[in-house]
Amino acid sequence: MDEQDPDPDKAKLMRVGELAKAVGKTVRAMHLYEELGLLEPRARSEGGFRLYGPEAVDRIHWIVKLQAIGFTLAEIQGFVKDFREAHSAPEASARVRALFEEKQQQIREQITQLQVIENDLVEALSYLDSCTPCSTDHGPSECAACDHHGHQKGEAPLLFAGLSKSSTTDDEKPFDVPVTMLYREGNN
């Protein structure tokens, strides 16, 4: 006669390494989530190993999604704590709603900034497309004052103009310093 496991859910429990593999994270990340109070093992094995149920996978996906939205682990930890310490469900929900609304506004501002950047790139790429047939007789320093192929002097898109215009005048000598020299070494 076959003996049945008295706890059918126990067969579904995973050790921390199995959980980490299932979600594509490191064991250290699992321990960090637990230290921050974001993840709790369902049980411990007889040997003291943490055991996690399938709900832990969902919890980690939730954490990853919040991080993708822009929340730090400390922020997630803080609002989980605030949620749990609320006196009522409506109060807890209102706290989360306020945080999500703030994050949504930040994301909308980022989207607007990215749309401006995208427009700048589209404009620069369009301008550069007309540079393709340019004569190899022209040097890069002439790009700032280009009036070839439909270009007007001084009307290059800002992204390209900043590169092609010289920051020196005729009386000044340009610096010839390797980029590596611009970084401080040690604590000089």
Residue 74 has pLDDT above 90, yes or no: yes
Residues 6+ apart with CB under 8 A from 127: 151, 156, 157, 160
Using only the alpha carbons of the chain, give its radius of gyration: 29
Mean pLDDT of 16-44: 94
Residue 126 has pLDDT above 70, yes or no: yes
Long-range CB contacts (within 8 A, 24+) of 119-124: 120/157, 120/158, 120/159, 121/159, 123/157, 123/159, 124/157, 124/158, 124/159, 124/160
**Average pLDDT over the chain, rounded to whole?**
82
Q: What is the pLDDT of residue 6?
A: 52
pLDDT tens sequence across 82-106: 899 999 999 999 999 999 999 999 9
Q: Name the band, by pLDDT with cuts 50, 70 and 90, for residue 11.
A: low
pTM for this structure? 0.63
- Contact of 50 with 40, CB cutoff 8 Å: no
Q: Name the band, by pLDDT with cuts 50, 70 and 90, for residue 3.
A: very low
Tokens of 53: 């149920």
Q: What is the pLDDT of residue 180?
A: 60
Higher pLDDT: 115 or 179? It is 115
All structural domains of the chain: 8-71 (1.10.1660.10)
pLDDT tens sequence across 48-71: 888 999 999 999 999 999 999 999
CA nearest to 50, candidates 3, 101, 14: 14
Higher pLDDT: 144 or 73? It is 73
Q: Name the band, by pLDDT with cuts 50, 70 and 90, for residue 166.
A: low
